Amino acid sequence: MDRLAGQIGASHGRLHPATEPFDRRMVDVGDGHSLYVEQCGNPDGRPVLVLHGGPGGGCSPFMRRFFDPDHYRVVLFDQRGCGRSRPTAEVEANTTAHLIRDIESLRALIGLDDWLLFGGSWGATLALAYAQAHPARVTGLILRGVFLGRRAELDWFYGGGAGRFFPDLWARFQEPIPEPERGDMIAAYHRRLFSDDRGRQGRFALPWLMWENALAGLQSAPVSHAPADYARAFARLENHYFMNGCFLEEGQLLRDRHRIEHLPAVIVQGRYDMVCPPASAWELAEGWNRCELRFVPASGHALSEPRISAELVRVTDEIRERDRAGLLAAEQIRGGDRAAR
């Protein structure tokens, strides 16, 4: 979940200055897929990996601005089939296991021992899945709008739960689907998004995208259009993952939380998130002693909501200050040792 960030109107004054990448490349990860990867900030800084939402959303320059470029080495990539990765909208060899493998390959390729993970919505799902698979490669997690890939969460959004709050928009989402098929909207859209007619795929991609976008921001206005290639990739990839339970066992991310409970984590969660309701963030954080859950008032789901953006920047700045304090303390200890000798 979570479409391309930065289009709902954040208060950009709370963000760090825009920077250009010092490294851009296409990386062949096999199976016919090539990923767009970029790095920005300080090449010698604290490594952080940004995991975008969707599945299918892709990264944007907006996402670079949550990090002090003097302190962080920020790695961003477009997951298989979306953004600038190729081929566009491809679902073959595109599962959660493939994405975890891609992340680990990228880490080794750019020569990092470990990194901080930053992800929201589906990006939070993927961050948790990767961290649980490779806990030794993760220094901590910053999560936003938690989505755990469970059936109940999908039923909430595509089974009418959220529609009780937005009956007009839910009716618009249902309208293209014949009434007998409306009992399973994910399957109904799947039949159309994966038809042999590319034009038909495009016609059903936009309402899929519009439904999610309309609920993402607490005060956002529904969109009536989007670039055709983007809408098609987003809708096909997201539908593909949701048809397959996100390629996770039911409840897996909560079941395997013990693998990462030694890691520090911060969750930034909109109090009125209608895409990924706060109950999932609460369940994830409860009993995790090193996890801090921060509810953000008067906010929904989107990364670009002003209060959400501001809180995420606050988190990354707090980590920066702790890093600096740790370096200063280490230098003072070294200085004392030299003086003692």
> For residue 140, what pLDDT is reported?
98
Give the chain's mean pLDDT: 93
Q: Counting Cβ atoms within 10 Å, is residue 194 exposed (0-12), middle (13-18) or buried (19+)? A: middle
Q: pLDDT tens for residues 172-208?
A: 999 999 999 999 999 999 999 999 999 999 999 999 9
Indicate the pTM of the whole model.
Answer: 0.95
Q: Counting Cβ atoms within 10 Å, is residue 166 exposed (0-12), middle (13-18) or buried (19+)? A: middle
In eight-state DSSP terms, residue 53 is S
> For residue 14, what pLDDT is reported?
86
Spatial neighbors of 20 by CB under 8 A, at least 6 apart, are 40
Helices 185-193, 151-158: inter-axial angle, 10-degree rounding: 80
Confidence of residue 1 (pLDDT cuts 50, 70, 90): confident
85: annotated active-site residue? no
Q: Is the pLDDT of residue 9 over 90?
A: no
Per annotation, catalytic residue among 60, 85, 121, 299: 121
Per annotation, catalytic residue among 68, 78, 102, 273: 273
301: annotated active-site residue? yes
Per annotation, catalytic residue among 71, 301, 304, 309: 301
> For residue 4, what pLDDT is reported?
47
Q: pLDDT tens for residues 51-64?
A: 999 999 999 999 99
> For residue 341, what pLDDT is reported?
58
Least confident of 165-179, 213-227, 277-291, 311-325: 213-227
Q: Domains in the chain, start-ordered, CATH in brackets?
A: 12-151+246-333 (3.40.50.1820), 153-245 (no CATH)
